[in-house]
């Protein structure tokens, strides 16, 4: 090590390890504080100073910044995933990231605030990772009707969140999908259902998944609410995904998708008006669905993994070039 490197190492150690101020270091060296500032800058540039930041869950902060800027989001939580990671661990880790973020946001909610919960494996992973904080006493409502056939059903998830936050849970006493639009109107004529939807529209924070129309991971298909033929028909209409049970195309548009007239719950337009909507979703088959939701402006915080995020960006680039 030469004399210059020794000086840089000394200044960096005094400043970063011994927490001495620049004025104190300057007095010791007999130089100006601006000289100390330049020495610290040089130490960074020459690699004398190296920083190692340990995070409990590895995140791709550079990719987060890119996604936030590209889609005008409030925030993005992107797991630094590797291709050899198994599906279960990826979903759990993304859910943990979302839960950590939610803890911070929940602390900032005003008294009397309510949270809305939809459905999905990502939402289930998030809720499962959310610690108990009964002192907050935050009420939780369903954003959509019930499914009744899945462990990730909305009513169960809403109850779990309410139990963790010490608040009340409000059921939406209706199925998420009915056979005909006129049946939906009959449900909406019920005061209890109207009140449930009103509560859902007035939440300050919403937690939702993003569903795919791929047969391998469609929640509607697994629940027996739609058939493979139904999914094929939706795809022929341009649909690529769903949020809170509402289907949309890759531009985030819902026109010509008649099935939405049979769904009971908040509208996608309602999601746009909720102050904070965090969507938890991952997987290459969901890339078109995530892109459509981002373009529709139905969320302002995305929790996913790096593999999925890069696929979404690549798909957006392809369509821009096309």
CATH of domain 61-321: 3.40.50.1360
CATH of domain 3-45: 1.10.10.10
Among the ranges 9-18, 120-129, 275-284, which has the highest mean pLDDT value?
275-284
Q: Could you give the residue range(s) of every CATH 1.10.10.10 domain in the chain?
A: 3-45
Residue 104 reports pLDDT greater than 80: yes
- pLDDT, residue 5, reads 82
- pLDDT, residue 97, reads 93
Which of 143-152, 173-182, 258-267 bottoms out in mean pLDDT, i.e. has the lowest? 143-152
Q: How far apart are CA 97 and CA 93, in angstroms?
A: 6
Residues 1-39 pLDDT 10s: 577 888 888 898 888 888 889 999 999 888 999 999 999
Nearest to 57 by CA among 8, 13, 98: 98
Nearest to 300 by CA among 130, 105, 143, 89: 105
Q: How far apart are CA 245 and CA 259, in angstroms?
A: 10
- Phi-psi group of 204: left, alpha or beta (phi > 0 → left; psi -120 to 50 → alpha; rest → beta): alpha
Q: What is the mean pLDDT of residues 130-156?
A: 80
Q: Is the Cβ–Cβ distance between 130 and 122 less than 8 Å?
A: no
Reported as a pLDDT band with limits 50, 70 and 90, residue 47 is confident
Nearest to 170 by CA among 205, 200, 201: 200
Q: Could you give the residue range(s) of every CATH 3.40.50.1360 domain in the chain?
A: 61-321
- pLDDT, residue 210, reads 96
Radius of gyration of the chain (CA): 24
Query: What mean pLDDT, rounded, does the chain reach?
Result: 89
Higher per-residue confidence, 52 vs 246: 246
Higher per-residue confidence, 51 vs 30: 30
Reported as a pLDDT band with limits 50, 70 and 90, residue 144 is very high
Tokens matching residue 318:
């392809």
- pLDDT, residue 120, reads 85
């Amino acid at each position: 090590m030469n004399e210059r490197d020794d000086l840089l190492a000394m200044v960096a150690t005094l400043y970063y390890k011994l927490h001495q101020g620049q004025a104190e270091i300057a007095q010791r060296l007999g130089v100006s504080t601006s000289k100390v500032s330049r020495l610290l800058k040089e130490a960074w540039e020459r690699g004398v100073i190296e920083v190692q930041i340990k995070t409990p869950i590895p995140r791709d902060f550079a990719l987060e910044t890119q996604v936030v800027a590209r889609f005008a989001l409030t925030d993005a939580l992107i797991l630094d995933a590797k291709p050899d990671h198994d599906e279960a661990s990826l979903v759990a880790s993304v859910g943990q990231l979302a839960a950590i973020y939610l803890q911070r946001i929940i602390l900032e909610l005003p008294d009397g605030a309510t949270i809305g919960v939809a459905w999905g494996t990502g939402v289930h992973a998030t809720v499962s990772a959310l610690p108990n904080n009964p002192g907050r006493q935050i009420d939780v409502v369903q954003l959509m009707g019930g499914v009744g056939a899945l462990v990730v059903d909305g009513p169960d998830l809403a109850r779990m969140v309410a139990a963790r936050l010490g608040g009340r849970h409000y059921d939406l006493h209706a199925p998420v999908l009915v056979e005909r639009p006129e049946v939906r109107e009959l449900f909406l004529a019920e005061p209890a259902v109207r009140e449930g939807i009103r509560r859902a529209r007035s939440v300050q924070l919403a937690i939702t998944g993003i569903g795919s129309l791929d047969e391998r991971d469609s929640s509607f298909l697994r629940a027996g609410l739609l058939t493979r033929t139904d999914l094929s028909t939706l795809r022929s209409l341009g649909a690529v995904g769903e949020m809170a049970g509402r289907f949309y195309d890759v531009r985030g548009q819902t026109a010509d998708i008649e099935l939405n007239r049979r769904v009971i719950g908040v509208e996608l337009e309602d999601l746009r008006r909720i102050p904070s909507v965090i969507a938890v979703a991952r997987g290459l088959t969901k890339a078109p669905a995530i892109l459509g939701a981002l373009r529709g402006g139905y969320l302002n915080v995305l929790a996913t993994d790096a593999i999925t995020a890069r696929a979404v960006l690549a798909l957006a680039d392809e369509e821009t070039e096309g």
